[in-house]
Amino acid sequence: MNRSLALDLLKKKLKNKNLIKHCLAVEAIMKEIAQDLNMKGFSIDGTDRKFDEDIWAMAGLLHDIDYEETADDPLNHSLISEKILKEEGYCDEIIYAVKAHNDVHGFPLKSEMDIALFSSDPVSGLIVASALIKQEKSLSAIDAEFVFNRYKEKSFAKGANRNSMLLSERLGYELLEFFEVSLRGMKKISKELGLH
């Protein structure tokens, strides 16, 4: 899997710069979660295994590849992605996680990666919205507790699905810790996100 080819494909399919930044943010969060779970030795079934950080990151990068194509047809969002990614030869693990991240379809979240993507998608939006209300408009101006307090404000970043974020508990996270890991990942690419 070549990240630069994946990014080129993404940019071919998406023209909206903010949408591309969203995909970059989810990529960074997914990589950080995989690293964190590997360090902790966590898996849902308790088996000792390592998660492939590059595969997790790729799923995050490509999760909304069909977003502009399906903007007026949300029932097809992620199903068109499945077709695109199959044609491009991506592995079944990535394709399924991308397909399952759209909760409208009700596909079961079968793996740690599926759960991570499902939770990472909305948390990236919550974190960006939290940074943008600070005068600095910077990720360095916020911490996980600030994000957690915004999470509790139901009228704040209404599009960021709180229930999806709560599924991070299946990965062994308290919500505050999930915000810490997610924010840490996004801070690593704050310049690319325009939030440095």
Look at residue 173 in the predicted model and tell me its pLDDT. Answer: 98
The pLDDT value given to residue 52 = 98
pLDDT, one tens digit per residue, over 140-175 is: 999 999 999 999 999 999 999 999 999 999 999 999
pLDDT of residue 124: 98
pLDDT of residue 176: 98
The pLDDT value recorded for residue 104 is 94
Would you identify the CATH topology of the domain 3-190? Hypothetical protein af1432 (1.10.3210)
Tell me what pLDDT residue 1 has: 72
Residue 5: predicted pLDDT:
97
- How far is the C-alpha of 59 from the C-alpha of 44, rounded, in Å? 19
* Residues of the chain with confidence (pLDDT) below 70: none
Domain ranges within the chain, ordered by starting residue: 3-190
Q: What is the pLDDT of residue 43?
A: 93
Structure confidence by residue, pLDDT tens digits, 53-66: 999 999 999 999 99
- Say what the pLDDT of residue 81 is: 98
What's the pLDDT score for residue 75? 95
